[in-house]
């Protein structure tokens, strides 16, 4: 097995592991790597949908998306598609997946199906480091505070994107989570707000809440907390959605990244109530 670190902050590209090996021993190795690096990447792993589901189920029960229809034969798999002429794609600013749910996703397994020759890399960011590097003053301000996370409704996931198909649900909803959560497996503290879904701090004046959230979002954007993955086809990313944020770069510009389809298969594993 070879593990190549992608940056000083998080992320590793792993070779010498077969993702179709569903033994507990192999899974434990993968989970250890995941907890250590927070996002791990594998190339040249042409998993079938069944194999991707089998791997995902080792992490726990699978989750279905609130707004998006899964594949016909594999409802657990959401196919994320960007049409060639589309300039936008899913997840194009920093976020944690479905943080508006009562039990936001634990782990995501994303497999590339069709990748443009250039453009559409994915960036990840380490939210343990983001917490650790906050000032003592800020840590004190957000201690024991909670915030509202909103789902933004179907618009944000389906209507805006030509090739994404909705499941009929249109309702916007929200849930409240601690701003600093503790990782259930490592015990580490995580800064758990994100600029896409986190709207307001509870029991705080709106202006003060806006000011603090703005400062936290800016802090979370620090490039020294990140790593970047350049996709190839049949690559697999597995990330810990509790301790990281990510964004799909939308560098699709005329005569450059624009003009190509991008297709990914996503499976989400159910998480727990953030505490």
Closer to Fe ion by Cβ: residue 123 or 142: 123
Closer to Fe ion by Cβ: residue 9 or 196: 196
Supply the minimum distance, in Å, between the C-beta of residue 148 and Fe ion: 19
Q: Which residue has the tokens 């194009």?
A: 92
CA 129, 151, 134 angle in degrees (round to 5)?
20
Window of 19-27, 85-93, 98-106, 142-150 that interacts with Fe ion by CB under 5 A: 85-93
Across-strand partners of 40?
12, 238
**SS3 category, 266:** strand
Closer to Fe ion by Cβ: residue 91 or 104: 91
Alpha-carbon distance values, 63 to 34, 39, 214, 218, 231 (Å): 19, 19, 30, 30, 24
Closer to Fe ion by Cβ: residue 228 or 256: 228
Q: Does 70 bind Fe ion (CB under 5 A)?
A: no
Window of 93-101, 138-146, 160-168, 198-206 that interacts with Fe ion by CB under 5 A: 93-101
Supply the minimum distance, in Å, between the C-beta of residue 138 and Fe ion: 26
Across-strand partners of 81?
263
Q: Does 240 bind Fe ion (CB under 5 A)?
A: no
By rule CB under 5 A, what string of x and - marks binding of each residue 96-125 to Fe ion?
A: -x----------------------------
196/178 Cα distance (integer angstroms): 16
Supply the minimum distance, in Å, between the C-beta of residue 67 and Fe ion: 13
Closer to Fe ion by Cβ: residue 97 or 265: 97
102/274 Cα distance (integer angstroms): 8
Supply the minimum distance, in Å, between the C-beta of residue 92 and Fe ion: 9
Q: Does 76 bind Fe ion (CB under 5 A)?
A: no
Residue sitting closest to Fe ion (CB): 91
168/172 Cα distance (integer angstroms): 12
Supply the minimum distance, in Å, between the C-beta of residue 241 and Fe ion: 8
Closer to Fe ion by Cβ: residue 63 or 97: 97
Question: In this chain, which of 70, 91, 104, 178 binds Fe ion, going by CB under 5 A?
Answer: 91
Please state the three-class secondary structure of 95-159 as a single string. Answer: ECCCCCCCCCCCEEEEEEEECCCCCCCEEEEEHHHHHHCCCHHHHHHHCCCEEEEECCCHHHCCC
Supply the minimum distance, in Å, between the C-beta of residue 95 and Fe ion: 6
Q: How many helices (H) and strands (E) does the chain have?
A: 5, 16
* DSSP secondary structure letter of residue 201: E
Q: Which residues bind Fe ion (CB under 5 A)?
A: 91, 97
């Amino acid at each position: 097995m070879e593990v190549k670190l992608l940056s000083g902050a998080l992320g590793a590209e792993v070779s010498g592991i077969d993702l179709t090996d569903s033994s507990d021993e192999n899974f434990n190795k993968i989970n250890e790597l995941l907890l250590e690096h927070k996002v791990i990447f594998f190339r040249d792993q042409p998993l079938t949908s069944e194999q991707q589901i089998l791997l995902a189920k080792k992490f726990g029960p699978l989750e279905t998306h609130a707004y998006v229809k899964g594949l016909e034969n594999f409802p657990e798999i959401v196919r994320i598609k960007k049409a060639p002429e589309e300039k936008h794609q899913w997840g194009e600013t920093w976020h944690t997946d479905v943080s508006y749910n009562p039990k936001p996703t634990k782990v995501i397994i994303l497999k590339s199906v069709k990748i443009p020759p250039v453009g559409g890399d994915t960036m990840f960011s380490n939210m343990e480091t983001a917490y650790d590097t906050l000032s003592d003053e800020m840590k004190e301000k957000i201690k024991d505070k909670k915030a509202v996370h909103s789902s933004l409704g179907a618009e944000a996931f389906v209507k805006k994107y030509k090739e994404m198909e909705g499941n009929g649900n249109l309702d916007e909803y929200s849930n409240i989570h601690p701003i600093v959560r503790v990782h259930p497996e490592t015990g580490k503290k995580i800064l758990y707000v994100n600029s896409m879904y986190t709207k307001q701090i509870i029991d705080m004046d709106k202006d003060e809440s806006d000011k603090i959230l703005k400062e936290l979002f800016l802090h979370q954007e620090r490039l020294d907390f990140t790593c970047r993955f350049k996709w190839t086809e049949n690559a697999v990313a597995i990330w810990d959605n509790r301790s990281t944020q990510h964004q799909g770069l939308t560098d699709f510009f005329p005569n450059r990244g624009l003009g190509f389809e991008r297709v990914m298969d996503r499976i989400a594993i159910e998480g727990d109530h953030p505490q």
